[in-house]
Amino acid sequence: MLTIGVDVGGTNIKSALIEVGDAKNGDTYKILEFVSIPTDAKKGRDAVVANIIKSIEHFDWKICEAIAVATAGTVDWDSGEVTYATETIPNYTGTALSKILSEHFNKRVVVINDAVSALIGEGFLGAGKKKSGSVMMFTIGTGLGASLLTGETLDSQTILDTKLGHFILHEEGRVCTCGQRGCAEQYVSATALKRYGNDNLYQLFHTSDISQKKILSDFYKDLSAVISRSAELYNPSLVVIGGGVIEMSEYWWQSFLKEYRSKCATPISPANLGNKAGVLGSVYAYLNGAFKNQ
């Protein structure tokens, strides 16, 4: 069957025409075409919705059996409504996106959160494919996201947003945007690494400067501590690390593993779907998920 997957981020909207042979078999999902257009997030909700529609209409959507959208913001699994979004996309909070798109295309459109979609993609088609047990995914980007997939049934009860990005890692530490002090994402994120004055993470991971190496050493220790704590709380069978920083994993992963393995025995893997996880995960969720009102 032919399907369309869409991944709405703050900068770009990625969309793909995906052929699926067997909905439950991750090996049969094949991307036939992949495109990306600007989100125009600062123009607000109406412009973003218009660009989502444009990204879908790039393909011959009328012959597709499924249209699935992953989007930034907190999304109600059962209704497909964006219940909360930051000012990255002005006026996006409260957007009944599933309803709007379904009415426009006169067919069912399922909408889920983008981090959840990436977790589903990696869990069933990527790093966690054919592995038993629960999968936890950390997304290291501007902040630190952490979600848990507890079973093969996809519904509002099997996916948990752990909010470990705001777990207090260092008491009385750095002030976080949430108002607390010492949150994990203030130490484990691309933003945290860049706060040291080096916006070029490639250069940071290749540094020979002793002070810069200390920054990386602390990053590895903090990331290991957060994952170790999550393993104690949730006992995942596999931890997957994704997000923008993982795209440079060839430069830091082995150094990180030395620190991690001294603290935690839970199997760990870098994400392996890259920027395709969102579009693939959204389609997999559409074809295999249980939604009350989508």
The reply to whether 73 and 175 lie within a common domain is no
Using one digit for the tens of pLDDT, what is the confidence trace for 95-137? 999 999 999 999 999 999 888 898 999 999 999 887 778 999 9
The reply to whether 135 and 263 lie within a common domain is yes
The reply to whether 112 and 142 lie within a common domain is no
3-state secondary structure 219-255: HHHHHHHHHHHHHHHHCCCEEEEECHHHHHHHHCHHH
Would residue 124 count as lying in a domain?
no
The reply to whether 280 and 165 lie within a common domain is no
In this structure, what token pair is assigned to residue 265?
């025995």
In this structure, what token pair is assigned to residue 103?
């009415």
Q: How many CB atoms lie within 10 A of CB 129?
A: 16
Please tell me the total count of domains within the chain.
Answer: 2
**Residue whose entry in the numeric block shows the structure tokens 């603290």:** 263
The reply to whether 69 and 135 lie within a common domain is no
The reply to whether 114 and 173 lie within a common domain is no
Q: Which helix (H) or strand (E) holds 73?
A: none
**Residue whose entry in the numeric block shows the structure tokens 């999304």:** 75
The reply to whether 26 and 96 lie within a common domain is yes
In this structure, what token pair is assigned to residue 181?
């002090």
Model pTM score? 0.84
Q: State how far the Cα of 163 lies from the Cα of 159, in Å rounded to an integer.
A: 12
Using one digit for the tens of pLDDT, what is the confidence trace for 144-168? 888 899 987 899 999 887 888 888 9
The reply to whether 27 and 85 lie within a common domain is yes
Long-range contacts of 184-187, Cβ-Cβ distance < 8 Å, separation of 24 or more: 184/144, 184/222, 184/226, 185/143, 185/144, 187/218, 187/219, 187/222
The reply to whether 98 and 57 lie within a common domain is yes
Pairing of strands 29-38, 12-20: antiparallel
pLDDT of residue 198: 61
Q: Which domain holds residue 27?
A: 2-118+275-288
Using one digit for the tens of pLDDT, what is the confidence trace for 179-191? 899 999 999 988 8
The reply to whether 147 and 265 lie within a common domain is yes
Would residue 293 count as lying in a domain?
no
Ramachandran category for residue 182: left, alpha or beta (phi over 0 → left; psi -120 to 50 → alpha): left
The reply to whether 192 and 109 lie within a common domain is no
Instruction: Report the CATH number that the domain containing residue 248 is assigned in CATH.
Output: 3.30.420.40
The reply to whether 267 and 134 lie within a common domain is yes
Q: How many CB atoms lie within 10 A of CB 1?
A: 15
Which residues of the chain, if any, have pLDDT below 70?
196-199
Helices and strands (H, E) in the chain, number of each type: 8, 12
Q: Which helix (H) or strand (E) holds 57?
A: helix 45-57
In this structure, what token pair is assigned to residue 190?
């691309």
Mean per-residue pLDDT over the chain, rounded: 91
